[in-house]
Chain A
Amino acid sequence: MTPALETIGLQKRFGGLTATDNVSFRLEKGARHALIGPNGAGKTTFINLLTGVIPPTSGRILLEGADITRLCPELRVQRGLARTFQINQLFPAMTPLETLGLAVSERKGSGRDWWRVFGSDREIVDEVVGIAQRFRLADVLDERTSNLPYGKQRLLEIAVAFACEPRVLLLDEPAAGVPEAERHELLATVAALPRDVSVLLIEHDMDLVFSFAERISVLVNGGLFTEGTVDEIAADPRVRAVYLGESVDE
């Protein structure tokens, strides 16, 4: 079966530094896959390569078998590759309603529509409400985003990406900075993502990784160190040495 997302010999060098070193990675369809690694392992660079923020030095990226290596970021999104950001990237002055509506209408190709009033398309509104319910944002749809509690903003961050109707969703530390009281809601929502979306989770939080992921890849010094099921990785003494050992005292 064609994987949802695949990289072949992906490499990125910044001068003398190899930030991504010959990574050949497969994300299967419907996967719940986590990418872990110590700080500076190149996780962010890898995400930026996948989403097209920076071009690779060499290697290829395939989205459902189609080569997207040279595609610009917005076209990758249109092809079904969406991401969330480790630090919220939202529109503070807009409401969640407008934010989600924007993403949905872009996807439906009405973003160029300059004549119809935003919100007059019933189909788009229906979809926005559906997404808001799924991400527990229905009660704050009309609030200014900057006034939302941080946990809700994190949910919106994921909801916007979801509104792009991705086939592959990259979650970059979705729980980062969320206070304990709001954490449960976030984790439950992430766990409830539909199975037709393949998810790659980049995470530091081992509780979240072990509760969510089915497979784990470990990135060390820019290269894929090992990959396996949750149990295999948890039992792997080398992984403990390079990664888990460090994170215990975090």
Chain B
Amino acid sequence: MQDKPFMSSLTTDEVATSLRRKGRWGLGEVLFWLAAAATLFFLPERHLILNEIAIIGLFAVSLDLILGYAGIVSLGHAAFFGVGAYVAGIFAKEMTGDPLTGLAVAGVAAALLGFATSFLVLRGADLTRLMVTLGVALVAGEIANQASWLTGGADGLQGIMMGPLLGMFEFDIFGTTAYAYSLVVLFVLFVVARRIVHSPFGLSLRSIRDNSLRARAVGIPVNRRLVAIYTISAAYAGIAGGLLAQTTQFVSLDVLAFHRSADVLLVLVIGGVGYLYGGLIGAVIFKVLQDILSSMTPQYWQFWIGLILVVLVLAGRERLTERARFLAGRLFGRSAGAPRTAPAREGRP
């Protein structure tokens, strides 16, 4: 090897710091989770809807793992959500009411389905993937409908009795235990997802998303990576579904419905794709808007959400958030801005 006659303007230390900086928790992030924890104490009358927000947020994070980071579009993510919900519900009825065990079983069941169907989304472009994922969700929905001896069919799965959380905390009618449970699960899984996207594995996913030809040319086993993240994402969705079943103690065919898949996509588009907080922020905006608008006039909800969607996609969420970030930066100084810039790629809604 020959010597290096070129001047380096970045030392190894600076490079290492620059790389690690992206994995570090920002002030904005800490504040975000502190605020979330504060709602446990300061918004007791809102715990039912907050619980729903946490669950949808987790579901959106799950979708972001495949859509935002690996570039796999899906119109059928509810398949995993629904399977998780039914498995958690049936498990509580037939086996044990312990929430954590049930949640783990729901996650594993959804992961198995995700693993099995991941091979269907490996091939083909976006349209193929949209259709395949949609098809899988439709099939799952119809199976749940037909197997009414197991799922309760159109009447829903009733009579789920949950045991106390950790053997100590009973689920109450105000949803406080439920919300605390969902929030902690969300936080733990979020931290794991955060590690994943900042790891070498996460970087390889982004590289596959951006240019799979080159990804292969640096020796990345593209298919195996996609199978892995699809399975992880399915487990996340299954756990979100399981949380819903456990905290509402009811499962209906609605968990597998098409609108579930569409809503979660909407949530992610509102909050931002390819940026884990996008799913959480989107879930908050989506649910709060839904709550306000539908209490005014139920039929207007669809109108407004449709309008917002069109504006978001046409005006470009990047531009809108850029502006918001700029204003926030001027108000609070630079460090208080959003946790990190979204590496969202152009041209994708």
Kindly report which residue of chain B lies nearest to residue A122, judged by CB atoms.
Answer: B16
Stretch at the interface among B90-98, B213-221, B248-256: B213-221
Contact indicator A125/B15 (Cβ below 8 Å): yes
Contact indicator B199/A74 (Cβ below 8 Å): no
Contact indicator B203/A139 (Cβ below 8 Å): no
Contact indicator B203/A98 (Cβ below 8 Å): yes
Given contacts A115-B195, A163-B218, A194-B1, contact A94 B200 (CB under 8 A): no
Kindly report which residue of chain B lies nearest to residue A189, judged by CB atoms.
Answer: B6
Q: Does A120 contact B (CB under 8 A)?
A: yes
Contact of A119 among B4, B20, B217 (CB under 8 A): B20
Q: Does B8 contact A (CB under 8 A)?
A: yes
Contact indicator A116/B199 (Cβ below 8 Å): yes
> Interface size class for chain B?
35 or more
Chain B nearest Cβ from A6, distance in angstroms: 21
Stretch at the interface among A14-22, A128-136, A229-237, A239-247: A128-136
The residues of A that contact B345 with a CB separation of less than 8 Å are 93
* Interface positions of B from 197 to 255, Cβ below 8 Å from A: 198-204, 206-207, 210-211, 213-214, 216-222, 225
* Interface positions of A from 74 to 99, Cβ below 8 Å from B: 74-75, 77-78, 82-83, 85, 89-94, 97-99
Contact indicator B20/A117 (Cβ below 8 Å): yes
The residues of B that contact A82 with a CB separation of less than 8 Å are 217-218
The residues of A that contact B8 with a CB separation of less than 8 Å are 129, 132-133, 138-139
Contact indicator A128/B206 (Cβ below 8 Å): no
Q: Does B2 contact A (CB under 8 A)?
A: yes
Contact indicator B198/A91 (Cβ below 8 Å): no
A132 to B199 alpha-carbon distance, docked (Å): 21
Contact indicator B18/A142 (Cβ below 8 Å): yes
User: Lowest 7 A-B CB distances belong to which pairs?
Assistant: A119-B19, A117-B23, A77-B219, A114-B201, A89-B214, A138-B8, A103-B218
Query: A107-B218, A119-B15 given. 17 additional CB < 8 A pairs?
Result: A74-B216, A85-B213, A91-B206, A93-B206, A93-B345, A101-B203, A102-B204, A106-B220, A114-B199, A117-B23, A119-B19, A119-B23, A129-B12, A138-B9, A141-B15, A142-B18, A194-B2
